[in-house]
Amino acid sequence: MNLVISMQQYFVKEVLHNHQIVALDEQQSFHIVKVMRMKENDHIVLADADHKVYEAELLSLGTFAEAKVLQQLQRNTEMKMPVTVIMALIKKDKWDFFLMKATELGAARIVPYKAKRSVVKSDDEKIDKKKQRWMRIVEEAAEQSRRQCVPEITDPAGIKELKKYLSDVNLIAYEKESGSGKLLRDVLNQPQSATIIIGPEGGFDPGEVDELLNMGFECISLGKRILRAETAACYALSAIDALVE
């Protein structure tokens, strides 16, 4: 068994150095003491602000546990190619599921998209609170999946703002292409980065697709079956990972 990958991991906001003593925050300390029932001298992994990972030893437990940094670990769990997922806003439980799974599957950046047919509207007043909750979900999922980086979540964007998130390859997962259109393997010719946009429960409005095509996106199929939006995002990330690894 790889002991390092099985060690519990926590993100810290600072840049770490060997032999440094680090205080974990209250929530992480609670997790270490009450959930994981760890003891002094147990080892954990810390991922720092530079996306480097270190093995550390617990020195003291309590409300703010302390750990001593032992050594940097040569490990990279990030996708070979950064993928931005532009995800149409969907209902809360499905959205939370998407955030968790897209993080586990390696998404580098998540752009909540105010699609024409999104039934969920982003309320600008509540967005800060919502984003805080979303960040907690992706941070936990990133720790659980031993990622080096927590995915970025941008502010919800309308179609005109999507130009900011273009990559080397820009794809629309379009339900009308299912079973006939180009597949991921046809369009991923060793790009440095990729952006994929997934529509809401009701799919894309045709005018919206035209606007995206003008922006430089191209349509692809995710296979013969019509998937739910959150399944489509998970499928796309898994397939891209398998194709570029």
DSSP state of 146: T
Q: How many residues are there in the chain?
A: 245
Sign, CA dihedral 146-65-54-132, equals positive
Cβ closest to ligand SAM, residue 72 vs residue 178:
178
| In the complex, minimum distance from the CB of residue 98 to ligand SAM, in angstroms, rounded to a whole number | 11
Rounded distance between C-alpha atoms, residue 68 and residue 59, angstroms = 7
| In the complex, minimum distance from the CB of residue 88 to ligand SAM, in angstroms, rounded to a whole number | 7
Cβ closest to ligand SAM, residue 13 vs residue 224:
224
Q: Are 72 and 54 contacting, i.e. CB atoms less than 8 angstroms apart?
A: yes
Residue with tokens 């941008």: 154
Q: Are 24 and 10 contacting, i.e. CB atoms less than 8 angstroms apart?
A: yes
State the burial class of residue 28 (Cβ atoms within 10 Å of its Cβ: 0-12, 13-18, 19+). buried
CA nearest neighbour of 232 among 242, 243, 222 = 222
Q: Are 188 and 244 contacting, i.e. CB atoms less than 8 angstroms apart?
A: yes
Which residues of this protein are in contact with ligand SAM, per CB under 6 A?
173-175, 177-178, 198-199, 201-204, 221-223, 225-229, 232
Q: Are 109 and 142 contacting, i.e. CB atoms less than 8 angstroms apart?
A: no
| In the complex, minimum distance from the CB of residue 230 to ligand SAM, in angstroms, rounded to a whole number | 9
Cβ closest to ligand SAM, residue 67 vs residue 229:
229
Sign, CA dihedral 158-150-235-221, equals positive
Cβ closest to ligand SAM, residue 44 vs residue 209:
209
Cβ closest to ligand SAM, residue 54 vs residue 235:
235
| In the complex, minimum distance from the CB of residue 189 to ligand SAM, in angstroms, rounded to a whole number | 19
Cβ closest to ligand SAM, residue 54 vs residue 204:
204
| In the complex, minimum distance from the CB of residue 227 to ligand SAM, in angstroms, rounded to a whole number | 4
| In the complex, minimum distance from the CB of residue 195 to ligand SAM, in angstroms, rounded to a whole number | 13
Residue with the shortest CB distance to ligand SAM = 199
